Structure 1
Amino acid sequence: MVTVNLGILHYVLDHVYGAFVHRTKISPQFFSKGWGGSKLDQLESMIKQLFPDVAAQNWPPNLVHPIWRTVWETKTACLREGVFRTPCDDQLLNALPPESYNARVAFLTPKFVPPQKMACVVHLADESSNICAIGTGDHTFERRLRLGGPLLKENIATMVLESPFYGQRRPILQRGARLLCVSDLLLLGRATIEEARSLLYWLDAEAGFGKMGVCGLSMGGVHAAMVGSLHPTPVATLPFLSPHSAVVAFCEGILKHATAWEALRQDLAAQKATMTLEEVRERMRSVLSLTDVTRFPIPKNPHAVIFVAATDDGYIPKHSVLELQKAWPGSEVRWVTGGHVSSFLLHNDEFRKAIVDGLNRLPWKESPL
């Protein structure tokens, strides 16, 4: 009898998938147009503004006013889609591609339940790989609505944000999920954070929900962690299969094979800064260190922070998850057996349980007199 080590099998699956998608060049590489020139310097300054010393200076965020249309409704549930102008300030807005100016959300709610007796979780998208984009619709709404659907019976609503640079917000010259410049990664992250914070504020101040949370998968989980960190009141913060920094995703995990290192080196050479490929990778580490969530404030209720990580993840090493847990004392890590790909496909029940448990660790908002 042959004994199969399932951990190795899951890890190999990640690498087989990675080889098929990334090394065969079946799709373009990340950052094929280089660093982003002067825009990168501008964005580095804007990202630093998110860090603890100024975190409280931009609250409340700009209030959004979605224009809603009903997609479908049943006796017990309703799905609406909303469109709103991104609440980013003029400096950030001018850096975005025009296609990303208008944000879209899907809003799945149970019917006949007062908002103050409901919770709502904002689901952010994975921007780091094509796992979600191939056949699952994660860059739009479908996969995350399927994740949130069964939560309706728990009186938990789902709000799904379509990120800048993806879905209907994708720049015309961008193919699929592959961002053209390093600056695009920082830009979509900063814009996603601003939009998610505004949506949480809308859910609280306008819709009156009793509890709120934010979750995301992979790099979407990094953004969820940042949003939960910066929120001025306790929210459930639920990063799934997520690193503590984009450095891990693009410089350590399988996505390093999907990065256009030679194009990045040539872009630097055109600016009279000749570097070896190793020096280019070090510069990437320096730039992406801005996304290190361990530098962000500890969330207001760290006990409502639950990470779900995979035991044999070829994209996200274990140490990365544990670094963030160490930086946020009181947070919890739950391990599922599998790799990045298999866990994404097979462990939705564990993701849902984390959402329910995270929300249960929050008190209900007091109703106004």
Structure 2
Amino acid sequence: MVKQLFPEAQCQNWPPPAVQPMWKTIWETQNSCLREGVFRTTCDERLIDALPPESHNARVAFLTPKYVTPEKTACVVHLAGTGDHTFERRLRLGGPLLKHNIATMVLESPYYGQRRPSMQRGAKLQCVSDLLLLGKATIDEARSLLYWLQNEAGYGKMGICGLSMGGVHAAMVGSLHPTPIATLPFLAPHSAVVPFCEGVYKYATAWDALREDAMAWNAFQENAEALTQDVTSLTEDVARKTGITIEQVRDRLRSVLSLTDVTRFPVPKNPQAVIFVGATDDGYIPRHSVMELQKAWPGSEVRWVTGGHVSSFFLHNDAFRKAIVDALDRL
């Protein structure tokens, strides 16, 4: 399943599966309107079978200016960072952009919000494969929404942005889009390997559980009869035989998460419309990881804000909004 999640970029078909969200108006004012829509995820059927049932239906919020035609309006799709379960935070980021005639579409990720599986607590994903499924489904759904915005809603200029994990997904979507769009990864690494194997997430990952998983897999490979043994005694026995260390487990995770390395993806059609925003004191995303992205996409721009991973989002929304406006202007 892991190998199917992120096939080679050149194998990505266009157009993506079409979506027809079912919309309902949440509120409207004299100058703006907020709607929410629901549609079935556009993932491949094999991936839908792997997703929890709660994640099969996608939800979006759509904030638009009134009395301005889509041809004269831009729209940016905002993807979720880790733990961003609802629409509100990203709507607050996009709201002031209405005065620039920029609409905001917010996608709720699988495993988050109303799409969260019943066995999951908060944003704590239970399996490594959940992280990859979340990413693949988000990318597929975002590509379908961009296609809808262009061909059904009639928007001329479009963009994709996201914070942290959402920034990685935004970079992938911008890379795979067949025409130029504004691509805005905020506080994003070049790969999920960085936060989980190098940054602070390595202190919050259940390495012992992953070690037991590696032991059980080794046992399965070495002796099929071992499957009939007690799992606890099995893993302890294999541990003595194999001597699997936590560092070896990290290497295994590093190998799997290398699928998310954005530098392996194609350069977007208009790299001048790519603006990365990094934080000077980010404990999750080191400076070198942001620069890896810029190096891989010549012509793109990196901007820096002062602060850490979380404080930068709360203190520098204006910098993110300016990056959105500037990137759209370059299309």
- Name the TM-score, length of structure 2 as normaliser: 0.92
Tell me which residue corresponds to 1:3. none
**What residue identity is the alignment partner of 2:269?**
K
RMSD: 0.9
Q: Deviations over 1:201-252 (max 9, x none)?
A: 0000100001000000001100000000000000000000000000001011
Tell me which residue corresponds to 1:118. 73
Displacement, 1:263?
A: 0.6
The 1-side partners of 2:2 and 2:70 are apart by 37
**What residue identity is the alignment partner of 1:245?**
S
Matches within 5 A, 1:51-66: 51-55=8-12, 58-66=13-21
Tell me which residue corresponds to 1:18. none
Matches within 5 A, 1:102-251: 102-127=57-82, 133=83, 138-251=84-197
The 2-side partners of 1:69 and 1:43 are apart by 36
The 2-side partners of 1:249 and 1:186 are apart by 14
The 1-side partners of 2:268 and 2:305 are apart by 24
Displacement, 1:46?
A: 2.9
CA contact (8 A) 2:5 2:132 kept: no
Q: Which protein has the larger Cα radius of gyration, Structure 1 or Structure 2? A: 2
Displacement, 1:341?
A: 1.6
The 2-side partners of 1:296 and 1:310 are apart by 23
Q: Deviations over 1:159-216 (max 9, x none)?
A: 0000000000001000000100000011010000000000000000100001000000
The 2-side partners of 1:321 and 1:165 are apart by 26
Match of 1:90 among 22, 45, 48: 45
**What residue identity is the alignment partner of 1:200?**
L
Give the 3-state SS of the residue equivalent to 1:175 in structure 2.
coil
Displacement, 1:290?
A: 0.3
The 2-side partners of 1:89 and 1:289 are apart by 22
The 1-side partners of 2:105 and 2:112 are apart by 17
> Is the counterpart of residue 44 in structure 1 residue 14 in structure 2?
no
Displacement, 1:44?
A: 2.1
Displacement, 1:340?
A: 0.7
Displacement, 1:89?
A: 1.7
**What residue identity is the alignment partner of 1:309?**
G
Matches within 5 A, 1:238-277: 238-272=184-218, 274=239, 275-277=244-246
Q: Deviations over 1:108-135 (max 9, x none)?
A: 00000000000000000012xxxxx4xx
Give the aligned length. 308
**What residue identity is the alignment partner of 1:289?**
S
The 2-side partners of 1:196 and 1:76 are apart by 26
The 2-side partners of 1:117 and 1:271 are apart by 56
Displacement, 1:268?
A: 1.5
Q: Deviations over 1:2-21 (max 9, x none)?
A: xxxxxxxxxxxxxxxxxxxx
The 2-side partners of 1:236 and 1:267 are apart by 41
Give the 3-state SS of the residue equivalent to 1:204 in structure 2.
helix
**What residue identity is the alignment partner of 2:67?**
F
Displacement, 1:77?
A: 0.1
Give the 3-state SS of the residue equivalent to 2:94 in structure 1.
helix
Q: Deviations over 1:237-287 (max 9, x none)?
A: 000000000000101111111111111001111223552100000001100
CA contact (8 A) 2:5 2:133 kept: no
Give the 3-state SS of the residue equivalent to 1:307 in structure 2.
strand
> Is the counterpart of residue 356 in structure 1 residue 325 in structure 2?
yes
Match of 2:310 among 316, 338, 341: 341
Tell me which residue corresponds to 2:291. 322
CA contact (8 A) 2:54 2:117 kept: yes
The 2-side partners of 1:215 and 1:258 are apart by 26
Displacement, 1:45?
A: 2.7
Displacement, 1:43?
A: 2.5
Displacement, 1:345?
A: 1.2
Give unpaired runs (5+ residues) of structure 2.
220-238
**What residue identity is the alignment partner of 2:86?**
T
* Aligned sequence identity (%): 76
The 2-side partners of 1:301 and 1:53 are apart by 17
The 2-side partners of 1:259 and 1:348 are apart by 29
The 2-side partners of 1:224 and 1:46 are apart by 16
